[in-house]
Structure 1
Amino acid sequence: MATLQQSHNLTGQSPGLSRAGHTAAAVVLGSILVLGFLGNFLVLLVFSRFPGLRTPVGLLLINISISDMLVCLFGTPLSFAASLRGRWLTGTYGCRWYGFCNALFGAAQKFQRLPSTYRVAGRRGHPTCPERRCNLS
């Protein structure tokens, strides 16, 4: 079994970023937190107000918006707080939770984009197909 090396960020020492670097990262992460949450909330609000948008592609967009909102709620605040302090506030547990949330919700976003990519690829066809419209099904 492989052993994990301790990060300097978990032990409280931060040789990588200066105090100004941590502050700049906190400003960017705070902006992502606020704008990401509000933007995705507006997307969900628009889809709830206009039932005609609830098409299959619209439902994929709703799912992507929800998973992005979950990243903004569960992952970004931990990173934001860690940037303010210059270290992870809850030690290895917070670092692992942050990684888990971003991996889980990030993977969900990627898998939700697959059907739309498949659909677009079916319309364009493959460059080696003589008809330029290959049936992918």
Structure 2
Amino acid sequence: MIEALISDKLQGQPSEKVAKTGKPFVTAKVRVHAGESDVFVNVIAFSESACAALLALESGDSVSLAGSLTPKAWTDREGVARPALDLMARQVLTAYHVARKRKAVEPMRHDQGITQPANPASRRDDLDDGEPLDF
């Protein structure tokens, strides 16, 4: 298996299903730009948090997924073999999650006396001397 992190847009609405064992899972499809073409990634999630995150999204939403990736192939109507990927998602990250995590961390940072400048662009790296790089 290949451990992967993919990011792109959700293609279609995620759907919740129930396995024969009674355990719920969610399936989705992500269209990922790869070079000069797009590849569809078939996503399945079993964990409660990953399922909930996927179900909160709509077609066209940006998403990042981490999990086990399996390469596959399928044949189109013209008989041409096309690549496809199956991803068993263990973690799902969306723009909503990033904003929520930043908001949750902000009071903690303030309580610890850590402050950020009002303009994040004004922050400087300790190793940045301000000189342009010569290549």
Q: TM-score range by the shorter chain?
A: under 0.3
Higher relative contact order (CA 8 A, sep 6+): 1
Calculate the TM-score normalised by the size of structure 2: 0.25
Higher helix share: 1
Calculate the TM-score normalised by the size of structure 1: 0.25
Higher strand share: 2
